[in-house]
C-alpha cells in the first residue's frame, strides 16, 4: 500500500496530547462575522466528521461553504479577520490551541483556483514546498514527492515548469503537494472546476479511495450530480450561512433548491413537473437581417510554443458565423485555450492562418482585434487589476473610446448580468474565485464585442448564477457569435447550437449538439463523459426535437 495512505493512520506527534479516540473534527455552535460586514457569514454550524468519512458540502454561492472551510483550516481568524465564536476540535484538541504549522500537518486544503496555490517554478519544487517548510531532510522529501506524483499518475510532469501546465494539470499538481504532506483530513474546495469530465471522474474516485483508506474528507462542490456518483457518506447542505440539511445523500433531493444547485436530472424532472413551465428561448446571434456573416476563419492552423516542443494544435480548420453559439469540449491539455487565444491575436499560428472579418491576425495588434473579439481568460487573476469592480468594468469600454453615457450603460448592464451589484466598490482581487470569474466576464461584456469568447465561464459558479448570466448574455442583442470552452457537458448541450470536440490538438468533431453528443464512443475518446441530463435528452429526442435543461424537459415530455 502506498505510503501516503499508510502514514495517515499514524498518530501525529503534534496531537499526542489529544484524545486518541476523538473524532477527526467536531464543530459546535460555530459563528463567524467578517470584520468588514455586519451580518454573520455563518452561524449555528454543528457537525462531526468521522474517520474515513467523505462529506459533500453543498450550497449556492454565498451560502458560507468557503467560510466554513477557512475556519477548519485555520485561515480564519489568522488570515481573515473577524469575530469567531463556538468550539472546533481536531482529534479532541481545540483548534485555537494549534499553530498553523501543526494544523497544516493534519488538515490539507486544495483550493478552488490552483493559481493561488502554486508558488514554485517547477512541479517537483511545488510538490516539495510544504515539506521543505516543515524542515524535513531532502532524503525524505524527494521520495514523498515522487510518491505523490506517481499516485496521481502525473510523474511525467515532475520536471515541467508550472507556468506551462494546463488548468487541470495545475490542479493535479496542487493536490500532489497536499497529499505529500500526508494529512489526516482533506478539505477540497471545488476541486473539479478545472478538470475535464474524465479527469473529474478519476479525481472523485481517488477521493473515494482516500476516504475508504481512512482519510476524512470534506468536499465542497457545485457539481453535486457528479459527486453523488461516488456515494459520499454524508451531505452538509447550507443556505445563507446556516445548516439546512445534514444526513444521507438521498435526503438532499427533497430539501435542496434545484434552481440553485445542480441535482441529478431525474430528480429535477420529477420535481419540476409540479411547477409552472420555465420560459427559455434558445439564443441566436445577431445577423442584422442579412443572413449569416463570416466573422472569423481558422485555416489549417498549426501551433507549437517552442520549436523543440510538439505541436499543441495540428491543422485545425473551421469558420465562425454570426448566429453561432459554439461550445468547445475536450480533455485537459488538448489545446482548447491555445485555440481561442489565436482569435484575439494573443498567439500567432506556427503555420496556417486566422482571419478576423477577412483580415489576418498577423497584421492586427491585440488592441485592434479587441474591437471585434472579447476574450474572457480561464484564470480571472490574469485579467483583473483595477481598485474597484466598477473601474474594472469601465476600463475596456473607455479604451475602445466609447462615450461616457455608453460606458455607464454598458457597465450597469454587465454588472447586473453577473449578479455583482453589491460589489461595485470592492477590489476585484479581494473577491472569491467564483466572484472574480463573474467580474472578468462582466468586464468583457461591457465592451460589447461582436465575437465573445469565454474560457471556462462557469468555473466556480453555482447553478443559478451560471444559468442567469448565460441566459442574459445569449439573449442580449449585439453579439454576433459566442464561443465558450467548457468541461460542463450540460452547459454545452443546453446553450450551444454547435459543438467542437478537440483532442490531441486536432478537431475530432464539429456539428450540432444532438449529433455530436449522441456519439458516446467519440465523446469518451475525447474524455467527455455523458451525463444524466444527456442520457435523458437522447432518450426523448425523437419527441422533443432538441436538447434542453431538465426543467424544460419535464413539461416537454408531458
Element of type H or E holding 71: helix 65-73
Whether residues 259 and 318 share a domain: the answer is no
Look at residue 319 in the predicted model and tell me its pLDDT.
97
Whether residues 13 and 156 share a domain: the answer is yes
Residues 196 and 175: their CA atoms lie apart, in Å, by 16
Whether residues 212 and 360 share a domain: the answer is no
**Which of 475, 493, 513 marks a domain boundary?**
513
Q: What is the CA radius of gyration of the chain?
A: 24
The dihedral over CA atoms of 296, 301, 306, 308, expressed in degrees to the nearest 10, equals 170
Task: Identify which of 152, 201, 199, 200 has the alpha carbon closest to the alpha carbon of residue 174.
Answer: 152
Interior/surface letters 268-292, b for 16+ CB within 10 angstroms, e for the rest: bbebbeeeeeeeeeebebeeeeeee
Look at residue 281 in the predicted model and tell me its pLDDT.
52
128, part of any domain:
yes
Whether residues 257 and 317 share a domain: the answer is no
The set of cell numbers assigned to 401 is 473610446
Whether residues 259 and 298 share a domain: the answer is no
Q: How many domains is the chain partitioned into structurally? A: 2
28, part of any domain:
yes
Whether residues 93 and 227 share a domain: the answer is yes
Residues 210 and 233: their CA atoms lie apart, in Å, by 13
Whether residues 217 and 349 share a domain: the answer is no
Distances (CA, A) of 212 to 51, 202, 231, 296: 9, 15, 11, 51
544, part of any domain:
no
207, part of any domain:
yes
Per-residue pLDDT of the chain (558 residues; tens, 9 = 90+): 345 444 444 444 444 444 557 899 999 999 999 987 888 999 999 999 999 999 999 998 878 998 999 999 999 998 888 999 999 999 999 999 998 888 888 999 988 777 778 889 999 999 999 999 888 999 999 999 999 999 888 999 999 999 888 777 888 899 899 999 989 999 998 888 778 888 888 889 989 999 998 999 999 998 888 899 899 999 999 999 999 999 999 999 888 988 888 889 999 998 888 887 766 555 444 444 456 899 999 999 999 988 888 899 999 999 999 999 999 999 988 999 999 999 989 999 999 999 999 999 999 888 889 889 999 988 888 888 999 999 999 999 999 899 999 999 999 999 998 889 989 999 998 887 778 888 998 999 999 889 999 998 887 788 888 888 888 888 777 779 999 999 999 999 999 999 999 999 999 999 999 999 999 999 999 999 999 999 999 999 999 999 999 989 998 886
31, part of any domain:
yes
Asked if 499 and 327 touch (Cβ cutoff 8 Å), the reply is yes
**Which of 263, 282, 313 marks a domain boundary?**
263
The upper half-sphere exposure of residue 112, i.e. CA atoms within 13 Å in the direction of its Cβ, equals 27
CATH number at residue 124: 3.40.50.300
Residue 213 CA, chain-centre distance (Å), reads 27
**Which of 263, 280, 315 marks a domain boundary?**
263
Look at residue 17 in the predicted model and tell me its pLDDT.
45
Whether residues 107 and 176 share a domain: the answer is yes
The set of cell numbers assigned to 558 is 408531458
Look at residue 430 in the predicted model and tell me its pLDDT.
80
Whether residues 115 and 185 share a domain: the answer is yes
Question: Per-residue pLDDT tens for 240-253?
Answer: 999 999 999 999 98
Question: Per-residue pLDDT tens for 446-503?
Answer: 998 899 999 988 877 888 888 888 888 887 777 799 999 999 999 999 999 999 999 9
Give the structural domain span for 126. Answer: 3-263
151, part of any domain:
yes
Whether residues 434 and 321 share a domain: the answer is yes
What are the φ and ψ backbone dihedral angles of 133, each rounded to 5 degrees? -70, -20
274, part of any domain:
no
Name every residue whose Cβ is closer than 8 Å to that of residue 312 and which is 6 or more positions away in sequence.
303, 304, 305, 335, 338, 505
288, part of any domain:
no
Asked if 298 and 346 touch (Cβ cutoff 8 Å), the reply is no
Whether residues 250 and 383 share a domain: the answer is no
The DSSP annotation for 145-183 comes to HHHHHHHTT-GGGTTSBGGGS-HHHHHHHHHHHHHTT--
The DSSP annotation for 222-236 comes to S-HHHHHTT--SEEE
Whether residues 397 and 259 share a domain: the answer is no
Amino acid at each position: 500500500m502506498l505510503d501516503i495512505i499508510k502514514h495517515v493512520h499514524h498518530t501525529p506527534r503534534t496531537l499526542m496530547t489529544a484524545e486518541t479516540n476523538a473524532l477527526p473534527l467536531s464543530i459546535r455552535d460555530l459563528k463567524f462575522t467578517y470584520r468588514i460586514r455586519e451580518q454573520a457569514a455563518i452561524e449555528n454550524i454543528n457537525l462531526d466528521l468521522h474517520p474515513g468519512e467523505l462529506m459533500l458540502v453543498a450550497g449556492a454561492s454565498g451560502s458560507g461553504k468557503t467560510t466554513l472551510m477557512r475556519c477548519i483550516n485555520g485561515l480564519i481568524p489568522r488570515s481573515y479577520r473577524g469575530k469567531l465564536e463556538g468550539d472546533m476540535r481536531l482529534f479532541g484538541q481545540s483548534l485555537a490551541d494549534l499553530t498553523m504549522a501543526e494544523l497544516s500537518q493534519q488538515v490539507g486544503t486544495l483550493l478552488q483556483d490552483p493559481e493561488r496555490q502554486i508558488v514554485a517554478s517547477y512541479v517537483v519544487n511545488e510538490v516539495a514546498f510544504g515539506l521543505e517548510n516543515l524542515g524535513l531532510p531532502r532524503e525524505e522529501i524527494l521520495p514523498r514527492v515522487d510518491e505523490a506524483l506517481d499516485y496521481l499518475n502525473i510523474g511525467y510532469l515532475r520536471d515541467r515548469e508550472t507556468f506551462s501546465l494546463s488548468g487541470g494539470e495545475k490542479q493535479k499538481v496542487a493536490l500532489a503537494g497536499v497529499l505529500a504532506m500526508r494529512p489526516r483530513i482533506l478539505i477540497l474546495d471545488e476541486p473539479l472546476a478545472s478538470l475535464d469530465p474524465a479527469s473529474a471522474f478519476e479525481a472523485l474516485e481517488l477521493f473515494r479511495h482516500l476516504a475508504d483508506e481512512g482519510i476524512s474528507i470534506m468536499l465542497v462542490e457545485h457539481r453535486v450530480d457528479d459527486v453523488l456518483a461516488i456515494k459520499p457518506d454524508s451531505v452538509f447542505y447550507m443556505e445563507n450561512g446556516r445548516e439546512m440539511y445534514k444526513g444521507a445523500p438521498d435526503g438532499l433531493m427533497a430539501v435542496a433548491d434545484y434552481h440553485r444547485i445542480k441535482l441529478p436530472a431525474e430528480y429535477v424532472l420529477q420535481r419540476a413537473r409540479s411547477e409552472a413551465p420555465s420560459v427559455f428561448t434558445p439564443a441566436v446571434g445577431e445577423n442584422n437581417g442579412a443572413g449569416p456573416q463570416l466573422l472569423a476563419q481558422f485555416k489549417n492552423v498549426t501551433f507549437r510554443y517552442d520549436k523543440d516542443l510538439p505541436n499543441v494544435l495540428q491543422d485545425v480548420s473551421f469558420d465562425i458565423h454570426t448566429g453561432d453559439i459554439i461550445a468547445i469540449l475536450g480533455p485537459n491539455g488538448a489545446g482548447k485555450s491555445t485555440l481561442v487565444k489565436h482569435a484575439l491575436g494573443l498567439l500567432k499560428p506556427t503555420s496556417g492562418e486566422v482571419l478576423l472579418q477577412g483580415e489576418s491576425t498577423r497584421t492586427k495588434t491585440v488592441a485592434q482585434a479587441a474591437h471585434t473579439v472579447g476574450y474572457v481568460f480561464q484564470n480571472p487573476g490574469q485579467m483583473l487589476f483595477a481598485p474597484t469592480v466598477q473601474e474594472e468594468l469601465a476600463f475596456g469600454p473607455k479604451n475602445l473610446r466609447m462615450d461616457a453615457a455608453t460606458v455607464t450603460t454598458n457597465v450597469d448592464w454587465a454588472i447586473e448580468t453577473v449578479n455583482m451589484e453589491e460589489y461595485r466598490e470592492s477590489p476585484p482581487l479581494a473577491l472569491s474565485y467564483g466572484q472574480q470569474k463573474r467580474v472578468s466576464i462582466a468586464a468583457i461584456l461591457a465592451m460589447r464585442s461582436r465575437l465573445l469568447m469565454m474560457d471556462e465561464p462557469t468555473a466556480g459558479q453555482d447553478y443559478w448564477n451560471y444559468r442567469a448570466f448565460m441566459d442574459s448574455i445569449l439573449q442580449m442583442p449585439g453579439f454576433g457569435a459566442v464561443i465558450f470552452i467548457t468541461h460542463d457537458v450540460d452547459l454545452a448541450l443546453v446553450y450551444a447550437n454547435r459543438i467542437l470536440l478537440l483532442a490531441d490538438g486536432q478537431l475530432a468533431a464539429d456539428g450540432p449538439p444532438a449529433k455530436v453528443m449522441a456519439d458516446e464512443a467519440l465523446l469518451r475518446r475525447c474524455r467527455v463523459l455523458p451525463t444524466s441530463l444527456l442520457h435523458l435528452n437522447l432518450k426523448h429526442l425523437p419527441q422533443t426535437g432538441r436538447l434542453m435543461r431538465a426543467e424544460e424537459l419535464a413539461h416537454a415530455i408531458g
